[in-house]
Structure 1
């Protein structure tokens, strides 16, 4: 089966003093999370669309979907986790309890605060999972990447080999579980990037071209840019 996961488990501390977690903030005429979920509802390939929200905000999430007519029998609002990989694990546990886990099961995990995800990116993630056990969505790094320790430059990698990660990140579920099980407890605490977990286990990770419009809304400035995109008729 093919599962979608909308990661809305955070509270958005970098957004500043807001009454709502950032995924519920208004973008144009509806909350950001609604824009994102609508993109996945349009795709018929998903068997379930899991929306991982903070546990205290699950009821509110369902209310938002009802208010903005986000109705699809595939949607399930479930609890997220303390960290990104905990949220992914919670989704996998829900899948296991609901449908069991099978060798061919895959999950396409996307940030709720990347509301400009395109059909092409989603389709190419699903297609790439036929060849790879894990897939990362990336865009070329236009600026030179400088590696440093906060005080001095340590390395300046070749820019043509550098990419910026976006989401979705997509996985064969069993491969992800097996890779995660190989991590030490220390690694589990510091590894926030799910694709790196699979990479460390020795699996190849495919790349799908993202889009520079597929921005992550993290700060008030990002929200202004996102609203400007909406105003131009994205």
Structure 2
């Protein structure tokens, strides 16, 4: 049986404008530790993971090494990779690093995770890997329980959507390397821009499977999210 190796691409190359602060959201601290560092900590503890690829803006690479990585003594190899203009470009740069590092005698799995989701747990990571090994592509998602309205540009309700089969996608999104690489190449050839990595697979005509996510696996993008993150730390 072909042995397995797994990489995670942690994407932290965004501008963080929704937080409304001078410091980018990924560098803000929760109980004295930067959010991005806390995210890396989760994957550093993951037994099924081989290496970490951290994608950040080119002019912040030295800052990340000095302030996000070096002070915390991570056990796993961490590669700093320059981000791109859009998130899709940043992920592609991360995939190129994985392609260069992979062992072609092994089956390679790639996790792609938001740098500002520090509360993902090991159960989600492991279930996504197991499902992706079997099916090729898997994401965690949470079933929507609120009533969902489709709203027009003038903020009037157009219709109420059937929420029965609606889910909120989370990360890490996990794929067989060949599958996600081919999907990104196809997206480039067809000028397709997706809102997440799973949409690349969907656009290429392949199926993506879902495992149960967690409402605690929040993405910290607003001041309200930051307050919630501080509260979660206080009760964990």
Give TM-score, length-normalised by structure 1: 0.90
Cα deviations by residue, 1:132-157 (Å, 9 ceiling, x for unpaired) = 22112100111122223324544433
Shift of 1:51: 1.1
Q: Is the 8 A contact 2:30 2:230 kept in 1?
A: yes
Q: Summarize the Cα distance change of 1:172–1:225 in structure 2 as closer, same or farther, 3 Å threshold.
A: same
Q: Which ranges in structure 2 are unaligned for 5 or more consecutive residues?
A: none
Report what 1:39 is aligned to: 42
- Matched position secondary structure for 1:231: helix
1:138 aligns with 2:172: no
- Describe the shift of the 1:154–1:203 C-alpha distance in structure 2 as closer, same or farther (beyond 3 A): farther
CA shift digits 1:16-41 (9 cap, x unpaired)? 132x2211101112111111111100
Q: Which residue of 2 aligns with 1:217?
A: 220
Following superposition of structure 1 onto structure 2, how do residues 7-18 of structure 1 map, counting pairs within 5 Å?
Answer: 7-18=11-22
Answer whether contact 1:22 1:113 (CA < 8 A) is retained: yes
Match of 2:161, SS state, is coil
Question: Which residue does the alignment assign to 2:229?
Answer: 226
Tell me the distance in 2 between the aligned counterparts of 1:184 and 1:73. 32
Structure 2 distance, partners of 1:60, 1:66, is 9
Does the Cα contact within 8 Å between 2:133 and 2:176 map onto a contact in 1? no
In structure 1, the residue matched to 2:203 is 200
Aligned residue in 2 for 1:175: 179
CA RMSD of aligned residues (A): 2.0
> Is the partner of 1:130 in helix, strand or coil?
helix
> Conserved in 2, the CA contact under 8 Å of 1:136 and 1:167?
yes
- Is the 8 Å Cα contact of residues 101 and 174 (structure 1) preserved in structure 2? no
Residue 108 of structure 1: aligned partner:
111
Task: Give the 3-state SS of the residue equivalent to 2:187 in structure 1.
Answer: coil
Closer, same or farther: CA 201–103 of 1 in aligned 2, 3 Å: farther
- Equivalent pair of 1:5/1:50 in contact (CA under 8 Å): yes
Q: Secondary structure at the match of 1:135?
A: strand
For residues 85 and 170 of structure 2, the distance between their equivalents in structure 1, rounded to whole angstroms, comes to 20
- Partner Cα distance (1:169, 1:205) in 2: 10
Deviates more, 1:76-85 or 1:120-129: 76-85
Checking the alignment, whether the CA contact within 8 Å between 1:113 and 1:218 is kept in structure 2 is yes
Deviations 1:109-144 (A, max 9, x none): 111111101010111111111222211210011112
Equivalents in 2 of 1:153, 1:102: separation in Å? 54
Aligned residue in 2 for 1:166: 170
- The residue that corresponds to 1:28 in the other structure is 31
Contact conserved, 1:34 with 1:68, CA < 8 A, in 2? no
Aligned residue number for residue 123 of structure 1: 126
Shift of 1:185: 6.1
